Structure 1
Amino acid sequence: MSARTPPPPALTRWERRTEVPLLAASLVFLAGYAVRVLAPYDAQPWHDIALVLVGVTWLLFIADYAVRIRLSGLGHRFVRVHWLDTLVLLLPLLRPLRLIKVYTAIQKRRDEPRLSLYARVMSYAGLTSLLLGLSASLAVYHQEHDAPGASIRTFGDAVWWACATLTTVGYGDAVPVTPWGRVVAAFLMACGLALLGAVTGSFSSWLIQVFRREDEKEPPASG
């Protein structure tokens, strides 16, 4: 089965039923990771509780991935065809990138979309940017705050860095110095460019559509 072949009905039903619960599990994972990163070292039992939440939700992601491999009928090719799902499984902090599938699953349960195409793109990109920025801030702070020569010492520094990176501003006052911090930065830069392009393109198309409608409503000028 090629990448363009429609998925089996069983896989489609499974994804529709699990996307929203998995989104909730993603938020639980993010909350657990945040506690692990931000809570003081002696904050017990919160560290243990957070570790359990992170482990349990990750096991849910692995179980979902295994079920979808079986239902897809692709076998080992599933890893290549569904590369985003594979990447998200390995790096759960990137699960906000799957929000578009969650939104699609919700909309398929309705007769008509509640938002226009342009509004959907902008709302998806905005929510994805927010969650990715938070995830990147946590990951970079975790790697950088105690590294020698680091300029990102507090979580506030990490949030400021994530905002500057996502918006492609890049002030340069806070930059990662560790290898893994720079890996996170590279991912965030790529995602920031893609999301910014999606938002600006959709907003421009929406404005053109509005102006075209206004021109059509105006009566022709009399000679």
Structure 2
Amino acid sequence: MRWTQAQWVRVTQWPLAAAALAFLAAYAVEILAEPRGGARLACELVVNVTWVLFVVDYVVMLVLAERRFRWFLRHLLDLAAVALPFLRPLRLLRLVQLFRVLQHTTGAAVRGRVTLYVVVTTALLVFVSALAVFDVERHAPGATIVSFGDALWWAVVTITTVGYGDLTPVTDAGRLIATGVMIGGIALLGVVTATLASWIIEQVGQRDEAAQSATRREIRELTAEVRALREELGQRRPDGASGIPE
């Protein structure tokens, strides 16, 4: 039996999501705790093993694609996630798999799930971007982001497109990360706006439907009353005519 992409995704999405979370944990420990010796080797092992898993997943998905070139063009971010394993800040691209799992679990889900997806995605994006920018900025000459608290504050004001300017990246890698965060913030804002708009449209539609249902019910009641009145008048006339024009 030949596997399909849908079958592969269904079987591997949660194991790969767990691998992405393990990678995030190992990467966070490396950045925040700066372990030495065996602990550092363990973190690097987790990071490298997860990279191998994502490479295998990408290759299998490409092989199973019906239109491989088209699939390749549509998944350039996935390619970047497996092709840039040694650029330390960009290693967080491997978390693309985690965001993909969140998308698959929501799919065409109800609004509550979409809201949950936006909240979780925003929290993850803030956390990982704070980790990445803290990693590249803290030892840079003239850096203003010198603690993880600074990095978190910077990530929050950047993803919300507020940008106070009190904390700014001074390295090229930091600015690249900032660009990604701003694009992600705009995309998430679009999702929130679309969700709110659909809720408003649904509420208006429900009110219109309720009004139409009430009108149809009143018409049926009036029709029934007219019919009953016609029958009553017909019974009172000796010739059986109702006296009400048809």
Superposition TM-score tier, normalisation by shorter sequence: 0.7 to 0.9
Contact 2:16 2:54 in 1 (8 A): yes
Contact 2:145 2:169 in 1 (8 A): yes
Per-residue CA distance 1:155-199 (angstroms, 9 max, x = gap) = 000000001011111111111000000000001100100111111
SS class of match (1:153): coil
Per-residue CA distance 1:30-67 (angstroms, 9 max, x = gap) = 111111111135x4432221111111111111111111
TM-superposed deviation, 1:205: 1.9
TM-superposed deviation, 1:99: 5.0
Identity %: 42
* CA distance 1:185–1:56, change in 2 (3 Å): same
Correspondence 1:22-33 to 2 at 5 A: 22-33=16-27
Per-residue CA distance 1:73-95 (angstroms, 9 max, x = gap) = 55566432322321333345235
User: 1 CA distance for matches of 2:23 and 2:6?
Assistant: 25
TM-superposed deviation, 1:120: 3.2
Q: Which of these two proteins has the greater Rg computed from alpha carbons?
A: 2
User: 2 CA distance for matches of 1:107 and 1:206?
Assistant: 17
Correspondence 1:6-155 to 2 at 5 A: 10-40=4-34, 43-72=36-65, 74=67, 78-89=71-82, 90=84, 91-98=90-97, 101-103=100-102, 105-106=104-105, 115-116=109-110, 118-155=111-148
Contact 1:94 1:132 in 2 (8 A): no
Give the TM-score taking structure 2 as reference length: 0.74
Contact 1:37 1:138 in 2 (8 A): yes
Tell me which amino acid in the other structure corresponds to 2:153.
W
Contact 1:100 1:124 in 2 (8 A): no
Contact 1:99 1:124 in 2 (8 A): no
Tell me which amino acid in the other structure corresponds to 2:48.
G
Number of residue pairs the alignment of both structures matches: 207
Determine if the alignment matches structure 1 residue 188 to structure 2 residue 187. Answer: no
SS class of match (2:139): coil
What stretches of structure 1 of length at least 5 have no aligned partner? 1-7
- C-alpha RMSD of the superposition: 2.6
User: 1 CA distance for matches of 2:182 and 2:7?
Assistant: 34
What stretches of structure 2 of length at least 5 have no aligned partner? 85-89, 216-246
User: 2 CA distance for matches of 1:215 and 1:74?
Assistant: 45
Which has the larger helix fraction?
2
Q: Which residue of 1 aligns with 2:239?
A: none
Tell me which amino acid in the other structure corresponds to 2:143.
A
Give the TM-score taking structure 1 as reference length: 0.81
User: 2 CA distance for matches of 1:105 and 1:194?
Assistant: 18
